[in-house]
Structure 1
Amino acid sequence: MSASLNINTPSPVQPLCVDWPGSEQVELFIKRDDLIHPIISGNKWRKLKYALLEARQKGVAEIISFGGGHSNHLHALGYCCQQLGIQLMALVRGDYSQNPTPMLRDLYQWQAQIMYLDKATYQQRSQSDFIEAWRAAHPNAMIVPEGGSQAQALPGVAEILQEQKQKFSHIIVPVGSGGTLAGLIQARQTEQQDNTQLLGIAALKGEGYLEELVTNLLPRSAPTNWHIEHRFHFGGYAKSTAELHTFCQTFRSNTGIGIEPVYSGKACWALKQKLAEGYFPQGSRVLLIHTGGLQGARQ
């Protein structure tokens, strides 16, 4: 299936050349999951891979999933469904019917069905009675959680570490729905990288909530050497400042690597701040995972 969608893996790991204070004390690298496909970007493919494989094997004709108006997950899923001949029902937080975002315009072009939900209704997206109501109305559909974060996502995310054999002291990744961090935690144990510290950067307000999302996806025996940093969400999901936008633009100009203010920009900002604070011991080998998805940068 990967071949039919022209997925380019393994994604490259390259030096991250920046002149941030403290960067001279460590070795910095970036894994370019943003390069695996121009549309099915980064961790969205990793988390969807095995769910889509199951859908194809079982002949699933419809997938129902959730996301915001700039959702990288829905964008990637919408394209995959269009290419695989599966109908997508996108349940979107907020009413964009009069002013659809570029992401939603793409979904319309890919013949997805879109239903706009108000905030209160959308908050029920993980409740069992809400899910069962949709199952009853669409008995033959596959329901994929927000962000694609479910048990099936973990083996796909694990391939991020399985693809390359370099060892790192620290791995940094943005956190939104928890699936990528959970997959890396599980993979680190399998790949015998238990000494690697995993640092998640919260892309939204959710101290305690994000940790719960991650642990709910993991077995009880999973490693505990991971942490989510909550200082760099810039006010909440998809919220940012002029300073963060300028930072993203400067980063792209200096490195040639595109980032956006919703996920990857916050992770890069956090890395810069952590370097300045001396968080990483001298000689550390630090890997930043670029999880792709630039919908937050589209106007």
Structure 2
Amino acid sequence: MNFPQLKINENNAIQQINTTFLKERDIYLGIKRDDLLHPQISGNKWRKLKYNLARMQELNKTELLTFGGAFSNHLHACAAAGKEFNLVTHVIVRGPELDNNNPTIQFAQQCGMNLHVVNRLEYRQRNNPEYLKEIQARFPNAYIIPEGGTNEFAIQGCIELAQSLPQHDYLVCPTGSGGTLAGLIEGSELTTQVIGIAVLKQAEYLKSEICKLSNKAKTQTNWQLVTDFHGGGYGKFTPELWQFCQYMNNTHNLPLEPIYSGKMMHALWQLIEQDYFPTGSKIIAIHTGGLQGLNGLKYRGLI
């Protein structure tokens, strides 16, 4: 599979945020603009897909199957990858019905993705081994990727991201399933403090999930999951958070959505205000993409 054809720019620039707010504290803040990797397969979705697509090829599978909600960034990226690589793609979508006016669903259909709608009861079985066996039997040529894209091959892509960065003291990312954070822990030096900003409520359980994905996470103390900045829960956000996203876009030319990277940046800003980071700290924050989600938020009248 020839990835360079995709024109993926994995070494895209780190954007430094210049403001008096940071200069007064002598803090360097750089944003790894992984949202600029590719127009449709961006951020951590490409990082997670990269080695899964290579594994799919090794196994001689010709179809890709995954799971997602109707507005999912992962669904969007898999559909785009299918179109780019000329792969048959399937997604089992959480229903009970399909809204054909949803911009994410429209994009997936334009890419030729096969959408299989199931009710919420069936969708809950998406990680059940017996259910996955049934799905594999129904789609024998399919390589199955979990919802959100996190598995051992996804971790490899996130390790690669961590190892590509210039020297830094702190590495920060938004955390949903824990895969990106686990990969960054695996790929970082022991001298780097790795911080995940949980984007969902009651996220303490993710710590054990991260330890399952990363051997380093089990024994090292140079990482943490911050759970106080979820903004009301997954997919939820406050007016203040959305105003902050607009401020960052207008003032620093940094486009953000309020579900993942916007939530992380807002949390990071508050932590800096609270003098959480020592003077002279060098922080790199990962923009994990997901800007396609803005269309879904507009469609639902949420922004």
User: Paired residues, what number?
Assistant: 294
Matched position secondary structure for 1:161: helix
Deviations 1:39-89 (A, max 9, x none): 111111011101111223443221111122221111111111122121111
Residue aligning to 1:7: 8
Residue aligning to 2:208: 212
Q: Residues of 2 paired with 1:110 and 1:8: CA distance?
A: 22
Task: Indicate how the Cα distance of structure 1 residues 29 and 202 shifts in structure 2: closer, same or farther if over 3 A, else same.
Answer: same
Residue aligning to 2:109: 108
> Does the CA contact (< 8 Å) of 2:229 and 2:267 recur in 1?
yes
Write 1 or 2 for the structure with the bigger share of helix: 2
Q: Residues of 1 paired with 2:273 and 2:177: CA distance?
A: 28
Task: Indicate how the Cα distance of structure 1 residues 22 and 177 shifts in structure 2: closer, same or farther if over 3 A, else same.
Answer: farther
Matched position secondary structure for 2:116: strand
Q: Residues of 2 paired with 1:118 and 1:20: CA distance?
A: 48
Deviations 1:221-264 (A, max 9, x none): 65332111111111221111222222111110011111001101
Matched position secondary structure for 2:29: strand
Q: Residues of 1 paired with 2:100 and 2:78: CA distance?
A: 21
Matched position secondary structure for 2:225: strand
Q: Residues of 2 paired with 1:161 and 1:207: CA distance?
A: 23
Residue aligning to 1:232: 229
Residue aligning to 1:249: 246
Tell me which amino acid in the other structure corresponds to 2:248.
F
Matched position secondary structure for 1:24: coil
Task: Indicate how the Cα distance of structure 1 residues 141 and 167 shifts in structure 2: closer, same or farther if over 3 A, else same.
Answer: same
Deviations 1:174-220 (A, max 9, x none): 011111111111111xxxx2011111011112422221221121236
Residue aligning to 1:31: 32
Return the offset for 1:22: 8.2
Residue aligning to 1:278: 275
TM-score by length of 2: 0.91
Q: Residues of 2 paired with 1:153 and 1:218: CA distance?
A: 12
Residue aligning to 1:150: 151
> Does the CA contact (< 8 Å) of 1:146 and 1:177 recur in 2?
no
Residue aligning to 1:179: 179
Return the offset for 1:128: 1.2
Tell me which amino acid in the other structure corresponds to 2:175.
V
Task: Indicate how the Cα distance of structure 1 residues 96 and 16 shifts in structure 2: closer, same or farther if over 3 A, else same.
Answer: farther
Q: Residues 90-129 of structure 1: matches in 2 within 5 Å?
A: 90-95=91-96, 97-129=98-130
> Does the CA contact (< 8 Å) of 1:186 and 1:223 recur in 2?
no
> Does the CA contact (< 8 Å) of 1:264 and 1:290 recur in 2?
yes
What are structure 1's unaligned runs of at least 5 residues? none
Q: Residues of 1 paired with 2:89 and 2:197: CA distance?
A: 30
The one of 188, 197, 218 aligned to 1:201: 197
Q: Residues of 2 paired with 1:169 and 1:155: CA distance?
A: 22
Return the offset for 1:172: 0.6
Task: Indicate how the Cα distance of structure 1 residues 40 and 222 shifts in structure 2: closer, same or farther if over 3 A, else same.
Answer: farther
Residue aligning to 2:168: 168
Task: Indicate how the Cα distance of structure 1 residues 284 and 105 shifts in structure 2: closer, same or farther if over 3 A, else same.
Answer: same
Return the offset for 1:98: 3.3
Task: Using the aligned pairs only, state the percent identity.
Answer: 39
Q: Residues of 2 paired with 1:94 and 1:22: CA distance?
A: 49
Tell me which amino acid in the other structure corresponds to 1:94.
G
What are structure 2's unaligned runs of at least 5 residues? 299-303
Tell me which amino acid in the other structure corresponds to 2:260.
Y
Tell me which amino acid in the other structure corresponds to 2:178.
G
Tell me which amino acid in the other structure corresponds to 1:226.
W
Tell me which amino acid in the other structure corresponds to 1:137.
R
Matched position secondary structure for 1:186: helix
Return the offset for 1:140: 2.1
Q: Residues of 2 paired with 1:296 and 1:219: CA distance?
A: 32
